Amino acid sequence: MGISLRARRHQISREELSEATARAVLREWAKVRPEHVARDWARLLPAVTAMVQRGQLHAAQQSHTFMRELLGPEAVAGGQIVPEQFASQTPDGRDAMKLLGQAAPRSIGAQRRGFSAKAAMARGAAFLDMAVRTVISDTGRQADQAAMVANRNVIAYVRVVELPACSRCIILAGREYGVSNGFLRHPRCDCTMEPVTRKNTPTPLDATDLFESMTPAQRRKVFGEAGTKAIEDGANIASVVNARKAMAEVEMHGETVHVTYAGTGSRKKKRPPRLMPEEIYRQAESREHAIRLLYKNGYLR
């Protein structure tokens, strides 16, 4: 079976909650005057923090509802989460007011560096948008996982990724993890998880499924021109994405080329780097040559 409709609705509801909370916070930020950022934001901060904490509470409550709707009688096989506890601090243990308060010095600092008032306030807004969406999403995932760990019927979870998504999330799509394994995410990540039980065995879209469903423009935006071409030629998606994490410029055969150390061991071991897809296509004399280089550099197997 594929991802359940309840799981997809849960994901959409989480996204909508994150967006609505962020918009509410940004409406308050819009009241801050560029010439009085610190004073105005200090005055608004208690109410803004309360907004975010309400969003966190709703995110945790959604988790409780989701587990009951998805698993039915199986949902009571263990302890129940206490939603209020997930709203007492940010998911990484920081004080919410201190986190949100960082918007003011970011804006003030930008003005001091010569940014226009509008641009400086936009920097503060961008930080708040990222921080609020991340806090709400992470709180929801934290509650989801706590509910799964507490439920004796849940044996694992699968990562649910929906487009649009970044390359890092796409390569993790559909993977199954132990119920207590940490959830890999990045700021503003909106991926979710669906519990696996003997009765509920989801099979959401994996990286290949997602790539096949993307338009050419979406592929280029996420993987780049050369990365997209390499994948279309049969390269492993994860290999292409991970290669970019360790990309570097080196001198080879008298010219500067882009290489990666991902998959070769540490640089200290003196193992030869791999060519990046961009370099493979630049050097290849034909498609057959490119495919041979993709094999040679570990993008195909």
The answer to whether residue 151 scores a pLDDT higher than 80 is yes
Average pLDDT for 200-218: 92
What are the phi and psi torsion angles at 196 (to 5°)?
-110, 125
- Pick from 277, 41, 21: which is nearest to 140 by CA? 21
72 part of a folded domain: yes
Query: Residue 180 region, left (φ>0) first, then alpha (ψ -120 to 50), else beta?
Result: alpha
For residues 291 and 301, the answer to whether their CB atoms sit within 8 Å is: no
- Residue type (1 letter), 63: S
**SS3 for 150?**
helix
What pTM, to 2 d.p., does this model score?
0.80
Single out the residue in 113, 130, 153 at which a domain terminates. 153
| Per-residue model confidence (pLDDT) at position 6 | 83
Query: Could you give the number of structural domains in the chain?
Result: 2
Joined together, the tokens standing for residue 153 give 């019927």
Indicate whether 144 and 270 sit together in one domain: no
Average pLDDT over residues 115-131: 97
In a domain, 135, yes or no: yes
Write down which residue in 99, 130, 153 finishes a domain.
Answer: 153
Quote the mean pLDDT of the chain: 86
Cα–Cα distance between 15 and 191 in angstroms, integer?
Answer: 9
Question: Is residue 10 located within the same domain as residue 82?
Answer: yes
- The answer to whether residue 224 sits within a structural domain is yes
User: Is residue 162 included in any domain, yes or no?
Assistant: no
- Pick the most confident of 26-30, 62-66, 176-180, 247-251: 26-30
Tell me the CA distances in angstroms from 261 to 63, 166, 270, 299, one per residue in order: 40, 21, 10, 13
Do the Cβ atoms of 133 and 22 come closer than 8 Å? yes
135 and 48 in one domain? yes
Residue ranges making up the domain that contains 233: 215-296
34 and 108: one domain?
yes
Percent of the chain with pLDDT over 90: 52
Query: Which of 23-32, 93-102, 227-236 holds the top average pLDDT?
Result: 23-32
pLDDT classification of 270: cutoffs 50, 70, 90: low
Residue 143 lies in a domain: yes
Residue 40 vs residue 65, higher pLDDT: 40
Q: How far is Cα 51 from Cα 48, in angstroms, rounded to an integer?
A: 5
Distance of alpha carbon 290 from alpha carbon 155, whole angstroms: 43
Q: Tell me: pLDDT of 266 over 70.
A: no
pLDDT of 113 > 90? The answer is yes
Angle formed at CA 123 by CA 118 and CA 125, multiple of 5 degrees: 90
- Looking at residue 32, its pLDDT comes to 98
Question: Could you say which of 153, 169, 190 is where a domain stops?
Answer: 153
268 — pLDDT class (breaks 50, 70, 90): very low
Whether residue 236 is predicted with pLDDT greater than 60 in this model: the reply is yes
Q: Which residues pair with 127 in a beta bridge?
A: none
202-206, 235-239, 247-251, 290-294: which has the minimum mean pLDDT?
Answer: 247-251
Give me the pLDDT at residue 258, please: 52
Q: Give a yes or no: residue 184 inside a domain.
A: no
In this structure, are residues 237 and 228 in contact, taking their beta carbons and an 8 Å threshold? no
Helix (H) / strand (E) containing 274: strand 274-275
Instruction: Tell me the pLDDT band of 293, cut-offs 50, 70 and 90.
Output: confident
Yes or no: say if 63 and 147 are a contact pair by the CB < 8 Å rule: yes
Quick check: 233 pLDDT over 90? yes
pLDDT tens profile 33-63: 999 999 999 999 999 999 999 999 999 999 8
The predicted pLDDT at position 12 comes to 92
In a domain, 163, yes or no: no
Q: Which residue has the tokens 């506890």?
A: 85
Poorest-pLDDT segment among 79-93, 167-181, 209-223: 79-93
Q: Is residue 185 part of a domain?
A: no
Co-location of 136 and 221 in the same domain = no
What span, in angstroms and rounded, lies between the C-alpha atoms of 115 and 177? Answer: 45
Question: Which of 101-105, 212-216, 264-268 is predicted with the least confidence, judged by mean pLDDT?
Answer: 264-268
